[in-house]
Amino acid sequence: MKKRVFSLAIALAMALSLLPIAALAAETSKTVEVTSAEELANAVTQAGTTPTTIRLTKDIEGFTTDQIVTIKQDQTLLLDMAGHKISVASNFQGRPIKNNGILTVTGNGTIDSSASTAGGYGAIDNYGVLTIENGTYTGSVDASGASIKNRPSGVLTIDNGTFNGAVTAVYNEGKAYIYNGEFDCRSCSSCNSNSWGYTIQSHQASGAAAPELYFYDGTVIGVQGAFSTSAGYSEIRNGTFKTVACAEHPNGSSAFYALYIAGESGTVESHIYGGTFTSVSRVAAYIGNSNDGGLKKEAIAYIHGGSFTSGNDNNAVYVDDALGGLLITGGTFSSDVAAYIPSGMKQENGTVVKDTEKANVQVGDAYYKTLPEALAAAQVGDTVELLSNVEVDTWNQVWNAKDLTIDGNGFTVTIDKVESNANGNYLFYGAENLKVSDLTINFLTNGNGFCMVSGKLDKVNMTGGEDSSCAVFVATSSEEAAVNITNCSFRNFNAAIYSQPGAADKVTSNISVSDSTFTDCGQVICSYAAETSFTNNTVSNCNELSFAAAADKQNASDSISYTVTGNSFNNAGKI
């Protein structure tokens, strides 16, 4: 993987996206039956803010532009198609329904605007909360539209249904959750250079927040392409995605990619956990586009699983050197993808699997040969887990790690030397909420342990080298923070736990040390923290314990607390 970016967005809780629908089913208090466009419009208007079911009892044909139904922001409606159809006039322009409120569509009916060749964009324009339970939704392949367009303010949930005919089945600019369905659009830029697109697209509108798209299952078919994310965040859990040849180009020469991830409208991150991706004539997955990729922002993909098959003997995946990034930790591929596999994994009969001979460190579903590689790949909130003892010839300092957990599993890290070029040759510098447990660290020459603003060390055993100075440096913060150390041991450091007074707007983080052992150290602890707890520890052959919170000017007006109790001192020096 050539690039590393953090997640652009946290997924909207699914329970929240579904709550309005549950409320609708429970609170719908009346049902209105309609047989015409006029009656449909009247029913929507008369519903007001009363949750209402509107049921079609007859097909509605010849729907005109001025009859487009607009659901207001404060309305909650269930449209029961009851197996019927809404179709448009030949001069219609737009989509028959515009939703600003809370709308559920059910009844396995059809909304079809394809009779208007140039103006039949699709079926529903969503600015509010839209849930589609079933049915068929279509538009004209020559109208350059989408059957369902989900605007930046929209939250779209598709449980099932058929989405076809238009250039695009679903065009997402907001938040979309797709659980199942058939999405089949056959636009082709070689056939119509003014009307083409991927079958499912997620795109960032100008000035709007980045979109989010979560695809759980379904079938997606396209000529121009199947699934595209050009900004924001997307996940694919399962499904079938394929490109096919159009009727005018049966050799597939005009078809593109089953999966296209490129920052055409914003920075993009995508996770693929499963699914089958097949391209008729090109690569199955295309990541990043510095050629004709719109805004040309960075794009990164994480493939955790799935099957990727290219056409015409192409590589299974293509990654743009300038803008694309790819990490593969699972899946089956029709070509060699070794360049994108972590060092502790291998490709076996096309499938990416753990390499048991090289896998020493694990981060999520990725395995690495070396600890530095694993730490470089780890993101906010990740857990780095040792699977064996590891040796590091040269450790390059890790800066500003945040919310990172290191689980040593009882193994040992042996470090020959540390190079930081600054900041005291610490393993980590400026770490926030760093949690390290069940780990032994041995320095052979130089090197210091952890410079941390906040976090916890539990069952961490550290032995310094001949030029090691400090095991733990407790840094300062403008917000209240704490470093907790428990069940640890420290040997052969000039200072086991050290701190310095804070700057004008910062104070030393609070320090708590318990049930730990200090042997052959100069200073056991030097604390400028306003709150220091040093309890039930064992100190042997050391020189000094220092508590100096009052020296930190920021503590002058605050209460200072030292708790020093239950300790065992043997040739411990002065306090």
Given a cut of 80, is residue 127 above it in pLDDT?
A: yes
Beta carbons of 72 and 101 less than 8 angstroms apart: yes
Given a cut of 60, is residue 16 above it in pLDDT?
A: no
pLDDT band at residue 152 under the 50/70/90 scheme: very high
Task: Please give the average per-residue pLDDT across 327-353, as a whole number.
Answer: 98
What pLDDT shows up at residue 555? 62
pLDDT band at residue 8 under the 50/70/90 scheme: very low
Task: Please give the average per-residue pLDDT across 263-288, as a whole number.
Answer: 97
Beta carbons of 422 and 430 less than 8 angstroms apart: no
| pTM across the whole model | 0.90
Q: For residues 553 and 571, give the distance between their C-alpha atoms in angstroms, rounded to a whole number.
A: 32
Share of the chain above pLDDT 70, in %: 93
What pLDDT shows up at residue 501? 84
What pLDDT shows up at residue 421? 66
> What are the φ and ψ backbone dihedral angles of 438, each rounded to 5 degrees?
50, 50
What pLDDT shows up at residue 21? 40
pLDDT band at residue 473 under the 50/70/90 scheme: very high
What pLDDT shows up at residue 411? 98
DSSP state letters, 452-473 = ESSEEEEEEEEE--TT--EEEE
pLDDT band at residue 171 under the 50/70/90 scheme: very high
Residue 370: exposed, middle, or buried by beta-carbon count in 10 A (0-12, 13-18, 19+)? middle
- Which ranges in 257-339 belong to alpha helices (H)? none
Task: Please give the average per-residue pLDDT across 374-387, as a whole number.
Answer: 96
Given a cut of 60, is residue 292 above it in pLDDT?
A: yes
pLDDT band at residue 13 under the 50/70/90 scheme: very low
CA 100 to chain CA centroid, nearest Å: 28
Task: Please give the average per-residue pLDDT across 352-376, as a whole number.
Answer: 97
Residue 400: exposed, middle, or buried by beta-carbon count in 10 A (0-12, 13-18, 19+)? exposed
Model pLDDT for residues 88-120, shown as the tens digit of each residue: 999 999 999 999 999 999 999 999 999 999 999
What pLDDT shows up at residue 4? 37
Query: What is the average pLDDT score of the chain?
Result: 93
Task: Please give the average per-residue pLDDT across 53-77, as a whole number.
Answer: 98
pLDDT band at residue 503 under the 50/70/90 scheme: confident
DSSP state letters, 157-199 = EE-S-EEESSSEEEEESSEEEE-S-EEEE---TTT-TTS---S
What pLDDT shows up at residue 423? 82
